[in-house]
Structure 1
């Protein structure tokens, strides 16, 4: 019995080591390039091979658009094609180009129902070889988010899920937990003041409301530039110039 079992055990060990090695290779990081933000993220940035979640800070379309542009800026800084899954054909492609995500990089997948958005998102994550996979949904149940997280872990692709509300009553769904590695809430703030009259760079309040093995925090940032990069605003909402931290979130 011992002799016949040894090859089986050895084979299982080889498979486990192979799987562990695969996971380790996929643990790459996409930093924001802003030390104050990257310091709050394990590894110094957003993890590839993981699901990240974004929502507007209010029920209006303005905050929702800011959340979409925040996610698009992240996707713009990856390498390769980006799959964008959605059920509402109202995405404004020129706005994505302004934050560095050019049309020639994006493959749009339009679904007639949100369930199909989740299916397409998962399939694209499992495909691998993509820069990022972006999705737009109202609800993200825990079970579905776990499937997406596992799919991202398996391929090493970064998954960016945007929560979009059709009516105010749906906002409460964002309070339910998901398996996302990070969860962000983005709100529009007045533009940065200029020394002369004119239109300053748009500003957002980026709330990191959950991060695994990290601490949540708020950041006042300048909106994504043409390369998808944000910057820490020199004039924060409360005038302190300091990052505001909240309770620990694991």
Structure 2
């Protein structure tokens, strides 16, 4: 990130090495969000796992109680009655082979793709396009399902996927800078409690190694892992 004057001024407002209580951290991150748009508050959680081992490659979904604060464009691969179900649930684009051809032609103006299991033979050929962008439907992410009404409504309401990267870090949006501190804390508690439940038996030592939040255009604020365990009752 280019170190602009605004970014430099933000750094002067606090000590980047401090470990803050969650509530204080969210108060501070709202103060650091000074861009001329509603910045996303992002969480980076370094976990005590080795993603090279299948049993430690954490992945799943969580429904944020306060939502994400952003509208998502959602496509669904389905046919017949299931296509009708997806449309009525609020999917933005619904289709089958013709939708796959549109994507193969370069169209990628959407944020999430869901497919019924019987459509994966069609969706499978899009792997080289959707995979690198994190858009490939996957059962573990809840995006390959026959329960389209539930899936569409949950993702529209604030359901997000989490997945540990190769360095053991989970990156997630946690809300918007316009959210109240209480709203951000509610989402944070839900995410951290969900991740805590995912701790593999093989994980050694501290599970939450480092935690930090940041606005889209601003610097990060470190959160005390011990204080986080307290607020989620662990």
Q: Same fold (TM over 0.5)?
A: no
TM-score (ref. length: structure 1): 0.29
Q: Which has the higher contact order (CA 8 A, sep 6+)?
A: 2
